[in-house]
Amino acid sequence: MHRWSQLFIPTLREAPADAEVASHKFLVRAGYIRQLAAGIYSYLFLGNRSFNKIMAIVREEMDKIGQEFYLPALHPRELWEASGRWSLIGENMFRLKDRKGADLCLGFTHEEVMTEIARKELRSYKQLPQIWYQIQTKFRDEPRPKSGLLRVRQFIMKDSYSFDIDAAGLDASYLKHRQAYKNIFDRCGLKYMVIEAHSGAMGGSQSEEFMVRTPAGEDQIVSCEKCDYAANMEKAISRLEPVSDLAAEGDGKPLLVHTPGMKTIEEVAKFLGVAPNNKIKTLAYVMEEKDKKSGKASTRPVIALMRGDHQLNETKLLTALAGKQTRLMQEEEIVQLFKSPAGFLGPLGVEWASNTNEADKPILLVDSALKGRTNLISGANKEDYHLKNVTPGRDFQPSAYADLRSVSAGEPCPKCGAPLRIDTAVEIGHIFKLGYKYSESMGARVLDKNGKEVIPIMGSYGIGIERILTAAVEQSNDENGFSLPLQIAPFDIVVTPTNVSDEKIRSAAENLACRLLEKGYDVLLDDRDERPGVKFKDADLVGIPFRVNVGKKVTDDTVEVVRRSTREIQDVSIAAIIEYFEQNLRPAR
């Protein structure tokens, strides 16, 4: 029997001054966690119990599709050099040296270790498919840990990796995970969304994220108010409302107009009496490339054209450039390329690469929203001048058209046309088809049916354990604390005798708690010699879903059952209490 009086549950009346988001404040106040350093937390009794319940659910569902491993947290440098990520990851990786001076790192993730095992051990297609998972600590030296457990430097992650002989196999492994994840998050009692995700510049064909809406989140997600369309900002698209082109002026060819001092889209549009969507926005970036052989760094201009009222999404730009990093162009570089100061830039008068692979010439990427438009206004590459009658494809040739635009709230859903909404959310899980990235670079090979050597195809799938608890708290808090879903709460029921010095009350509570315990419920008996108000406040704070108040009504053989989530109070006779929970609690577990 867990007796509150003997336990360490350090609840606080006030939140620590440095806590900002609800889950951080309440998890500290409720005695679940304590901070040790920036982004590093100790999990105390209640927190640990909750995490154990979450991990038990994850294990049960993962065991249906895969096998659990336990892997090292310390990795040798060589392992990470094999995949190329020792230098790629940079400062986000915790690195250390052993006594001999050899370089090690703390496990940032486990693709490398898993692939190393696969490389050494997998020989034949007959051994495939494999799904291996682990629930372990990851270390990331985040530049800015924040929001309590939401962004930390040490955290528990369930990650799994699938190895298949071909793409069809990967599809199957991916779908197995998708289903397992739904089972897990459903059982954890979370309201979540599955959204299309940007799969990263490093290959990967399909990717979805499991997101929980909360203002505490760091990600922006786009979803449809009517249908099931949902995607993250880097991936989201929308239908465009039709816009009207301007009529051609003069002979219809690009026409120079004087626009003194008009630099912004708004200024020019207003000055010329046109809508911003008739304007071309010209954004200048620089792509920095390294020659693979010589190692020499070189730069190459990348110009992105957007509709005047649209925003460029830099991740989409990155995708359009096959993962090559860009930075904004400096003023001197702009003048060098365009012979004009910023504010009057446009696509005419510069010789562009005919496609994105053609070297040496600047790349001109044009957002798809400009495709088919005519008689637009662009900068003239001449101070204080713009051009009218600019028509893409006629007056200039893009290197490529691409989707570069960030979706805005209210735009029509690409599937059904209903308005899209944008919310902040927390990512609790991510599944994606990795492809051959690690198996190829690290040299994993198996023989297929024909005795031919093939590279196994991989998938990678993660769940943030702490984020499940955090998201649950974010979803269910009120002014008194939070209310955890039954499945992940540290206890099912707290039994609260209102006065332990009243022998009748004390023994009735004791008795009742024992009976519930025997039935297999997780029961916490609040046997502290405290006033009722203190106990009620604490019980509300720590989020246990059910509370049984044992008070004066014991003389009538009656107790009260209080549901934390709804505040609903019900009198139940002591004789019927087991029956009550068998009906109201058991089915939810």
Q: Which residues bind RNA (CB under 7 A)?
A: 11-18, 20-21, 29, 35, 37-39, 85, 88-89, 92, 108-109, 140, 142-147, 151, 157, 200, 202, 218, 314, 430, 460, 462, 480, 498-499, 501, 531-534, 536-538, 540-541, 549-553, 560, 562, 569
Smaller CB distance to RNA: residue 77 or 537? 537
Q: Closest distance between RNA and the C-beta of residue 24, in Å? A: 7
Quote the tokens at residue 297: 């760094």
Quote the tokens at residue 466: 């702490």
H-helix or E-strand spanning residue 227: none
Q: Closest distance between RNA and the C-beta of residue 500, in Å? A: 8
Which parts of 122-232 fold into alpha helices (H)? 167-187
Q: Closest distance between RNA and the C-beta of residue 132, in Å? A: 16
Smaller CB distance to RNA: residue 18 or 351? 18
Q: What are phi and psi of 425, to 5 degrees?
A: -155, 165
Smaller CB distance to RNA: residue 82 or 390? 82
H-helix or E-strand spanning residue 164: strand 154-164
Q: Is-contact 572 561, C-beta < 8 A?
A: yes
Distance in angstroms (rounded) separating the CA atoms of residues 125 and 174? 18
* Alpha carbon 367 to its chain's center: 26
Q: Is-contact 148 426, C-beta < 8 A?
A: no
Q: Closest distance between RNA and the C-beta of residue 467, in Å? A: 11
Q: Closest distance between RNA and the C-beta of residue 468, in Å? A: 15
Smaller CB distance to RNA: residue 367 or 427? 427
Q: Is-contact 279 376, C-beta < 8 A?
A: yes
Q: Closest distance between RNA and the C-beta of residue 551, in Å? A: 2
For residue 191, give Cα distances in angstroms to 184, 187, 194, 377: 12, 11, 10, 46
- Which residues lie below 8 Å from residue 146, measured CB to CB, with a gap of 6+? 20, 39
Q: Is-contact 57 187, C-beta < 8 A?
A: yes
Smaller CB distance to RNA: residue 53 or 553? 553
Smaller CB distance to RNA: residue 129 or 145? 145
Q: Closest distance between RNA and the C-beta of residue 138, in Å? A: 7
DSSP of 416-473: T-PBEEEEEEEEEEEEEEEETHHHHHTT--EE-TTS-EEPPEEEEEEEEHHHHHHHHH
Q: Closest distance between RNA and the C-beta of residue 242, in Å? A: 32
Smaller CB distance to RNA: residue 50 or 460? 460
Distance in angstroms (rounded) separating the CA atoms of residues 337 and 481? 59
Smaller CB distance to RNA: residue 397 or 480? 480
CB burial string 203-226: b at 16+ within 10 A, e below: ebeebbbbbbbbebbebbbbbbee
Please tell me what DSSP assigns to residue 340: S
Q: Closest distance between RNA and the C-beta of residue 545, in Å? A: 14
Smaller CB distance to RNA: residue 90 or 261? 90
Distance in angstroms (rounded) separating the CA atoms of residues 572 and 547? 12
Smaller CB distance to RNA: residue 318 or 370? 318
Quote the tokens at residue 5: 């009086």
Smaller CB distance to RNA: residue 446 or 550? 550
**Nearest-CA neighbor of 82 among 324, 323, 322, 440?**
440
Q: Closest distance between RNA and the C-beta of residue 137, in Å? A: 13
Q: What are phi and psi of 72, to 5 degrees?
A: -65, 150
Q: What are phi and psi of 507, to 5 degrees?
A: -70, -35
Quote the tokens at residue 145: 């840990």
Q: Closest distance between RNA and the C-beta of residue 354, in Å? A: 29
Quote the tokens at residue 131: 């799904």
Smaller CB distance to RNA: residue 390 or 444? 444
Q: Closest distance between RNA and the C-beta of residue 193, in Å? A: 18
Q: Closest distance between RNA and the C-beta of residue 377, in Å? A: 28
Distance in angstroms (rounded) separating the CA atoms of residues 363 and 299? 12
Smaller CB distance to RNA: residue 165 or 550? 550
Q: Closest distance between RNA and the C-beta of residue 569, in Å? A: 7
Quote the tokens at residue 40: 């590093």
Radius of gyration, CA atoms only, the chain: 30
Q: What is the phi-psi region of residue 81: left when phi exceeds 0, alpha when psi lies from -120 to 50, beta otherwise?
A: alpha
Residues comprising the chain, all counted: 589
Q: Closest distance between RNA and the C-beta of residue 18, in Å? A: 4
Distance in angstroms (rounded) separating the CA atoms of residues 528 and 515? 20
Distance in angstroms (rounded) separating the CA atoms of residues 390 and 45? 67
Smaller CB distance to RNA: residue 121 or 557? 557
Quote the tokens at residue 251: 């002979």
Smaller CB distance to RNA: residue 157 or 577? 157
